[in-house]
Amino acid sequence: MRFDLFVPTVSEMATPEILAALCAESEARGIGCIWVGEHVVLFDDYRSEYPYADNGRIPVDGRSGMLEPLNTLAFLAAQTSTVRLGTAVVLLPQRNPVYTAKEAANVDWLSGGRLDLGVGVGWLREEFTAVGVDFARRGARTDEYLAVLKTLWCDPVSFFEGEFYRLDPCIMAPKPVQHPHPPIHIGGESEAALRRAAAFGDGWHTFNRQPAALAAPLRRLDELLGEHGRNRAEVTVTVSPYFQELSPTTVEQYAEAGADAVSGLLYATSVDDLPGAFDALMPSMERAASL
């Protein structure tokens, strides 16, 4: 079982010095993938409910901020040679799909083919308002944008025409190193997210889910994959326990439930904090390596 890291790239925890040291420590300890998230803006006052906390509030404020994920992964690519680099997740419907395809291909190119692109539809209505995108239709927009990414990555001449986006014939180069394209991991807990993973995804990335709560959605994912003539062997299931307990026992339980990778939350506010943060995860890493 692969052991990954989910790294909150809020500004005080994501200085160049901390990120460079994180990369060195990750490669030394055999981490599979470093995952980073996205919020282009945050708010002190908002009505949306954060789905991964009981109080409905995201555990950072607007002044902490988060680094832009694909730029961050480009920085990490220059500091690493083996660990994979992932987004968990980019908020695809908020973005221009052509620039997203270009930036993702760039990271894959510069890293020698180590990008895992996790995408999600978002939860923060106020952020959609800030970037001028309709929140209500974000799911349908995501599906179209995934098709735009794929034509830009895969086709010699790319074009697309849909409800939300039109792309006249054009050429994007260089193409990603990975063929046919970087793995696309669908983030989210809803039926719509599982349907999207079955239709478009190379992976499903789930957050804040206990091992006992994994079996039912994986059964549903199997059903949906079957509708597309696919099976579970074609989809990597990554679990980020996030606020839930992470221990050797829970790692084993995640594996038994059907997860392929577990992504431990790593907090470090200084370079000196990093070895201890990794040491706290080592028992779980070792258990994952044995499965």
Average the pLDDT over 58-69 and give the result: 89
Rounded CA gap, 268 and 18, in Å?
A: 8
pLDDT at 211 over 90: yes
Count the neighbouring beta carbons within 10 Å of the beta carbon of residue 262: 28
Mean pLDDT value across the chain: 97
Residue type at 3 in one-letter notation:
F
Task: Find all residues with CB under 8 Å of 181, minimum gap 6, and list them.
Answer: 149, 150, 153, 154
Q: Give the chain's length.
A: 291
Taking residues 131-142, what's their average pLDDT?
Answer: 98
What residue ranges do the domains of the chain occupy? 2-131+183-289
- pLDDT at position 63: 83
- Give residue 264's pLDDT: 98
Q: How confident is the model at residue 61 (pLDDT cuts 50, 70, 90)?
A: confident
E strand map for 139-257: 158-161, 166-170, 184-187, 203-207, 236-240
Distance CA 100, CA 90 (A): 9
The pTM of this model reads 0.97
The residues, ordered by sequence, that sit 6+ positions from 119 with a Cβ below 8 Å of its Cβ are: 87, 89, 90, 91, 92, 142, 146, 184, 185, 186, 187
Q: What is the mean pLDDT of residues 111-129?
A: 98
In which band, very low, low, confident or very high, does the pLDDT at 68 lie, cut at 50, 70 and 90?
A: very high
Both tokens of 276, joined, read: 């201890």
Query: Residue 156 pLDDT more than 90?
Result: yes
Could you tell me which residues are beta bridge partners of residue 35? 6, 86
Which CATH superfamily does the domain covering 2-131+183-289 fall into?
Luciferase-like domain (3.20.20.30)
